[in-house]
Amino acid sequence: MASKKPLILISNDDGITAPGIQTLVKVMKKIGEVVVVAPDGPQSGMGHAITVANTLRLDKSTAFPDVEAYECSGTPADCVKLAKHHVLKNRQPDLVVSGINHGSNSSISVLYSGTMSAAIEAAIEGLPAIGFSLCDYGHEADFSHTEPFVEQIVRQALKHGIPVNTALNVNIPKNSATPIAGIKICRQAHARWQEEFDERLDPNKRRYFWMTGSFVNSDKGEDTDEWALANNYVSVVPCQFDLTAYHAIPQLNNEWELEEKPEMKDKKITEKAPN
What is the pLDDT at residue 219? 87
- 113 appears as a binding residue in the annotation: no
Cβ of 213: how many Cβ atoms within 10 Å? 12
What is the pLDDT at residue 214? 82
Q: Which of 32, 1, 15 is nearest to 158 (CA)?
A: 32
- 225 appears as a binding residue in the annotation: no
Cβ of 227: how many Cβ atoms within 10 Å? 19
Angle between helices 147-160 and 19-29 (to 10 degrees): 50
Angle at 224 between CA 218 and CA 226, to 5 degrees: 65
- In this prediction the pTM is 0.89
What is the pLDDT at residue 102? 96
What is the pLDDT at residue 43? 85
Q: Which of 133, 175, 176, 137 is nearest to 153 (CA)?
A: 133
What is the pLDDT at residue 3? 62
Please tell me the class of the 7-190+221-245 domain: alpha beta
The number of C-alpha atoms within 13 Å of 89 and in the hemisphere containing its C-beta is 0
Separation of alpha carbons 30 and 239, rounded Å:
26
Cα end-to-end span (Å), the chain: 38
What is the pLDDT at residue 1? 43
Separation of alpha carbons 184 and 236, rounded Å:
6
Separation of alpha carbons 216 and 193, rounded Å:
6
What is the pLDDT at residue 47? 84
- 101 appears as a binding residue in the annotation: yes
Separation of alpha carbons 78 and 70, rounded Å:
12
Separation of alpha carbons 151 and 25, rounded Å:
11
Q: Any idea how long the chain is? A: 275
> pLDDT tens string for the chain (275 positions)?
456 899 999 999 999 999 999 999 999 999 999 999 999 988 888 888 888 989 999 999 999 989 999 999 999 999 999 999 999 988 999 999 999 999 999 999 999 999 999 999 999 999 999 999 999 999 899 999 999 999 999 999 999 999 999 999 999 999 998 999 999 999 999 888 888 888 999 999 999 998 888 888 888 999 999 999 999 999 999 999 999 999 999 999 999 988 777 665 666 665 666 66
Separation of alpha carbons 173 and 153, rounded Å:
15
The number of C-alpha atoms within 13 Å of 108 and in the hemisphere containing its C-beta is 11
- 223 appears as a binding residue in the annotation: no
